[in-house]
Structure 1
Amino acid sequence: MSQFQAPRGIPDYYPPRSADFVRVRTTLTEAARLAGYGHIELPVFEDTALFARGVGESTDVVSKEMYTFADRGDRSVTLRPEGTAGVMRAVLQHGLDRGQLPVKLCYSGPFFRYEKPQEGRYRQLQQVGVEAIGVDDPALDAEVIAIADEGYRRLGLSGYRLELSSLGTAADRPAYRALLTDFLDGLPLDEATRARAQINPLRVLDDKRPEVRELTADAPLLLDHLSDESAQHFAAVRAHLDRLGVAYEINPRLVRGLDYYTKTTFEFVHDGLGAQSGIGGGGRYDGLMAQLGGKQDLSGIGFGIGVDRTILALAAEGVAQTEPPRCRVYGVAMGDAAKAELVVIAAKLRAVGIAVDLAYGDRGLKGAMKAADRSGADYALVLGERELAESRIELKNLKTGGQEGVSLSNAVEEIRLLVAEIEQGI
């Protein structure tokens, strides 16, 4: 075993498993691209105050889970725990909010939270996210949700469900908060839960412990206390989802873990994953721009999808694993002069889009041909000193066993045509 190991709670993705990782990430971002979302690349760490202010100091993310440290300039910086605050910071910093609205952005990459590692809950988690900033339109909320749903469907997932709710506006909260606080004050909550309720009573409704669920079964629900404006907004989102054919379940206890959410809130859940059943989610965050110092308070809607958990969900459903990328042609050279020529041929084939691998080292012909078979290639190119002297190269079909000589000068074009026929199913 190696002297060094990956940090606890951080998975490695390597072949062949990495093929699933690439497919999930690519498929999810492609669904966003088709809806007009442009790519944004975010810093891996930011000013700690950005997350404290944007995510909420009372959240578990900020109070317990962030990787925060002082840099060499004694500035407090934090490895990004989520993407929305960073996107909003970039929109404000670069004046994107002064252009065409909504600003539609998509991102992917690692995020970091210090949690107890377990299957599906990692300290370095991989996500794909989208944000649409600048327009408060129920149709846009539905579009964002539908993009995630489409991404899952393209991957072949079917055993998930979409939970949907509304958290109303900031104006809806005070009266409901007072009502919920009065209810919670009458319950025999443990000390930690009581302290949590004093900071944000809504969080208690999202507690997954059975004993707390039982105590709060009759708690007043925010969905029953929405303003007319918020209720109409939520009804419009549902109507758009109905027309799009996106199935959902209303979950009035859905809170999510970040303070900036308002109005539409949603989560995709896969019961095949046990306790870590959430595979993605998001919501609207009206008011976040003002919290981060924006001169105008533009609304936004977005999601974050867990790449790691989506891979686990695919495995739970038995969806076929992604075939790792393989070469089409495998080159076998006998002798230094032949190898020098074959390296050039391989480069030319790669330049026209054909994947080529070579037998490196000093293995003999028998060992090199075994490597060619294991590579999964369609053809082997065999070049020795005799073939080189005759300006030809042996082209072997690794599926049928057939073999023919090809002129060195025409080898690249002939192989290109053969590979094209395979790809077209001829």
Structure 2
Amino acid sequence: MVGAQPANFEALEAQARTLLAIFIASGYEAVAPDIIQPAGVFLDVVGEALRGRTYVFTDLNGEEMCLRPDLTVPTCRLYLARHPQADREAFYSYNGPAFRFQPVGAGASHPREFRQAGIEAFGGADAGEADARTLVLILRALQQAGLSKWRLQTGDVGLFDALLDDANMPERWRRRLRDHFWRPDALHAELKRLSTEPARSAAAFPRSLIDALDPEDPAGAENLVAAYLDEQGIELIGARTAAEIAEGLLGIAADAKAPPLKPETAALIESYVGTHLPAAEVAPALRRFAGSAGAGFARAIDAYERRLKLLADSGVDVARMEFSAEFGRNVGYYTGFVFEVIAETLGAESPVAGGGRYDSLLKAVGAPRNVSAVGAAIHTERLLAVVRGAKS
């Protein structure tokens, strides 16, 4: 039941205080973001996987609110309340509850109310150094709490973005592929469609309407769609407006007139997405086909390699790190390096900690521009279960 104290509440509190003390000693100010948050902010940025698991309600003023499903977005809002221009470097730490719907039978490792102890860093000039510092501190805190056996699952959304940016394709296709990145099956299906039959999606709509739409004239497209709906006696149902319908149809119309994605470009993207290797082997493997990608992708590989060296120089055993190009965590706001710390006894479905880089999130919640940002959180219930199991 939401709000009930777990049986091991005192042990969790003691562990969380230990973790928070480690973070504070490393220069991260302790903060306590609000538990109740505006729902719109979360539902816009957290991604599909988390959106459907967020507890949303309407308060007595008619405002849609939610119980925070994580502490990263609330900490971003706290930072912006203090620094509206997002022009200051800041380091925050926290310890508190988060709430997510879990299906029946999800198990003790997936409670509906759980605690996160974490850190967030805003405004750093050196992204690679900030990424490495975040992971090193999380690992140090886990180890001091008693976690000795772990492995790291990592990915890098920035590598995928750089590969798409270098590829010769319409921007709308890049957006579509980025949207599908979190769903591998959908990504592969979309790549196949774009490289064979990009016009296929137009088949479900009247050809006369699709042919009449001009991608360079959105206002005219809205009028055409409104007239077509009126002629056919079709009423708008739900939240979509004629302008939104027209925007979607313009993309379909443009696809109907576009040549397919070059097979070599689709093959290059498939080759990257299929990369699953020990972290130390990734850069050499990607460089083997980087010449076909472009300069942006080559720079992203350099950044990956530098971050790995920073981690190794900080004492992280990179032999315990694995890389999967498709790994992006289940939260939609990550833009770069992502990771999860996995304990052998719980497995990959229940990571003990995780985090990553999210340079566009602050702008999405109100900052005047994108801001360099990275953070991570420890799932304290899981950590306690692992540590207790190791001692028993």
Do Structure 1 and Structure 2 share a fold, with TM-score over 0.5?
Answer: yes
Match of 1:95 among 60, 83, 92: 83
Aligned counterparts of 2:152 and 2:343: Cα–Cα separation in 1: 9
Aligned counterparts of 1:121 and 1:206: Cα–Cα separation in 2: 25
Residue of structure 1 in register with 2:68 after alignment: 80
Task: Answer yes or no: is 1:33 the counterpart of 2:24.
Answer: yes
Q: CA RMSD in A?
A: 2.8
Contact 1:205-1:255 within 8 A present in 2 as well: no
Task: Answer yes or no: is 1:133 the counterpart of 2:122.
Answer: yes
Contact 1:272-1:317 within 8 A present in 2 as well: no
Aligned counterparts of 2:347 and 2:64: Cα–Cα separation in 1: 36
Q: Which amino acid aligns with 1:60?
A: A
Q: Which amino acid aligns with 1:130?
A: I
CA displacement, residues 349-397 of structure 1 (integer Å, 9 cap, x when unaligned)? xxxxxxxxxxxxxxxxxxxxxxxxxxxxxxxxxxxxxxxxxxxxxxxxx
Match of 2:94 among 104, 107, 118: 107
CA displacement, residues 112-143 of structure 1 (integer Å, 9 cap, x when unaligned)? 10112412001001111110011142111111
Task: Answer yes or no: is 1:232 the counterpart of 2:302.
Answer: yes
Task: Answer yes or no: is 1:166 the counterpart of 2:156.
Answer: yes
Q: Which amino acid aligns with 2:135?
A: I
Q: 1:160 to 1:285 in 2, by over 3 A?
A: same
Q: Which amino acid aligns with 1:141?
A: D
Match of 1:255 among 328, 332, 344: 328
Residue of structure 1 in register with 2:45 after alignment: 54
Aligned-pair CA distance for 1:228:
2.6
Aligned-pair CA distance for 1:157:
1.1
CA displacement, residues 12-47 of structure 1 (integer Å, 9 cap, x when unaligned)? 334xx3343123212221221121000111111111
Q: 1:13 to 1:234 in 2, by over 3 A?
A: same
Match of 1:20 among 3, 7, 11: 11
Decide which structure has the larger Cα Rg and report it: 1
Matches within 5 A, 1:300-339: 300-318=373-391
Contact 1:170-1:262 within 8 A present in 2 as well: no
Residue of structure 2 in register with 1:42 after alignment: 33
Q: Which amino acid aligns with 1:287?
A: S
Q: 1:219 to 1:99 in 2, by over 3 A?
A: closer
Residue of structure 2 in register with 1:241 after alignment: 311
CA displacement, residues 45-66 of structure 1 (integer Å, 9 cap, x when unaligned)? 111111022323xx2111x101
Match of 1:120 among 109, 113, 116: 109
Residue of structure 2 in register with 1:204 after alignment: 183
The TM-score normalised by the length of structure 1 is 0.60
Contact 2:163-2:297 within 8 A present in 1 as well: no
Aligned-pair CA distance for 1:229:
2.8
Q: Which amino acid aligns with 2:316?
A: V
Aligned counterparts of 2:183 and 2:166: Cα–Cα separation in 1: 14
Aligned counterparts of 2:57 and 2:108: Cα–Cα separation in 1: 27
Q: 1:263 to 1:12 in 2, by over 3 A?
A: same
Secondary structure of 2:34's aligned partner: coil
Q: Which amino acid aligns with 2:302?
A: Q
Contact 2:86-2:371 within 8 A present in 1 as well: no
Aligned-pair CA distance for 1:78:
0.6
CA displacement, residues 330-367 of structure 1 (integer Å, 9 cap, x when unaligned)? xxxxxxxxxxxxxxxxxxxxxxxxxxxxxxxxxxxxxx
Aligned-pair CA distance for 1:242:
0.2
Secondary structure of 2:303's aligned partner: helix
CA displacement, residues 247-299 of structure 1 (integer Å, 9 cap, x when unaligned)? 24132232101111122111100120146431110000111122222113211
Secondary structure of 2:183's aligned partner: helix
Task: Answer yes or no: is 1:283 the counterpart of 2:276.
Answer: no
Contact 1:31-1:148 within 8 A present in 2 as well: no
| Identical counterparts, % of pairs | 22
Contact 1:177-1:201 within 8 A present in 2 as well: no
Aligned counterparts of 1:27 and 1:96: Cα–Cα separation in 2: 32
Aligned counterparts of 1:309 and 1:243: Cα–Cα separation in 2: 29
Structure 1: which 5+ residue stretches go unaligned?
1-5, 180-196, 208-217, 320-426
User: Which has more helix, going by share of residues?
Assistant: 2
Task: Answer yes or no: is 1:293 the counterpart of 2:286.
Answer: no
Structure with the greater relative contact order (CA < 8 A, sep ≥ 6): 1 or 2?
2
Residue of structure 1 in register with 2:206 after alignment: none
Aligned counterparts of 2:61 and 2:167: Cα–Cα separation in 1: 42
Q: Which amino acid aligns with 1:166?
A: D
Aligned counterparts of 1:67 and 1:270: Cα–Cα separation in 2: 28
Contact 1:271-1:277 within 8 A present in 2 as well: no
Task: Answer yes or no: is 1:149 the counterpart of 2:136.
Answer: no
Residue of structure 2 in register with 1:264 after alignment: 337
Residue correspondences, number: 279
Contact 1:107-1:128 within 8 A present in 2 as well: yes
User: Which has more strand, going by share of residues?
Assistant: 1
Contact 1:136-1:300 within 8 A present in 2 as well: no
Q: 1:41 to 1:84 in 2, by over 3 A?
A: same
